[in-house]
Amino acid sequence: MYREATKYGVNLDQFQKTPLNPDFHTAMKRTVSAMTSALSGLPFDDFRRLVATMPRADGEAVVAVRARNACLTKPLGSLGRLEELAEWLAAWQGQARPTVRKPMVCIFAGSHGVALKGVSAFPVEVNHQMVANFSAGGAAINQLCTSFNFGLKVFELALEQPTPDITETDAFSEAECAATMAFGMEAVSAGMDLLMIGEMGIGNTTVAAAIYHALYGGEAADWIGRGTGVDDAGLERKRAAVAAAVARLGEGRRDGFEVLRRVGGREIAAMVGAIIAARHQRIPVVADGYVVTSAVAILHAIDPSAVDHVVIGHASVEGAHRDVIARLGKAPIVDLGFRLGEATGAAVAGAIVRAAADTHNGMATFTEAGVSDKG
């Protein structure tokens, strides 16, 4: 397992070594230049340009997959979602024979000031302890990655410096938020062909609930759940924290990046960046559960097509996750009652995505197998 720590570190050399489309590279150079030179400006503008210049689905690859699928030794449609996933992979990898040979799980770990409001059943020390557990190979995700032969990277995002308490002030300045998204972009390495995204951070289900409440309205209670297992008193503290955080934003339409900046967290900002980078590098993405989906929701609020290359790995039992998935126009790959986080649901779903590719590529056609078609 690879483990990396940062405090908003941005390494432009990695972008120079990675084959990206020119608009993406140019925009990132401007963003990094603005951040590292501490110039005044609007770093979000460059991220908006990155969203606007995202590559589209490869229609020719989808046509090729459908044509081959129609000839495989099975009734058309008999493998259900696996057939859909093979088309989705082809569309976003841009190749007629989609493959999953270099799958990678990336976990982003962040620390939140709002956790001190008693919104979680576990203390903030668990952040460092769980990252150490990932490194030692003792977490659930380690076992799944071993079982499925997936790569695993864990990224710490200044765990010793929690973001400010979002009930009282904004989580970031615009430059800080942009820098954290840029770091998430760096996490996406050339050569990956499937990215599974997860997170870890005590208090981050409260932060995700605040993002959903800010984007979708309703009452704070509509979006919260028990997270790591808070009791009734903790659940009420969580509801109050989400309500207070969103009340600071005032009325009116809320921009996705501004919602992220004001009530988000470092791991969520980094995941937004990773999703953007994956799209520009034609890497399909499997998102984990409740918290990771908040990063998907941020981009969806900016442009719904910006997350067409993302599938939701699983339906969490946390909060209103199923409601959010429906608002995104997506369907989870699995529904196993998970609520752990750390990319466990994404990994299980990723194994199914790989099965979809392997089945499509490995099956014989009716002609190859000498099997009579239905005629």
List the catalytic residues.
342
Half-sphere exposure of 149 (CA within 13 A, CB side): 5
Contact status, residue 47 vs residue 183, Cβ threshold 8 Å: no
Count the neighbouring beta carbons within 10 Å of the beta carbon of residue 56: 12
**CA–CA distance, 75 with 84 (Å, rounded to integer):** 14
Measure CA 255 to chain center: 19
Task: Give the list of residues 6+ apart from residue 105 with CB closer than 8 angstroms, or none.
Answer: 141, 145, 150, 151, 152, 153, 196, 197, 198, 343, 346, 347, 350
**CA–CA distance, 325 with 313 (Å, rounded to integer):** 10
Half-sphere exposure of 337 (CA within 13 A, CB side): 0
**CA–CA distance, 273 with 28 (Å, rounded to integer):** 11
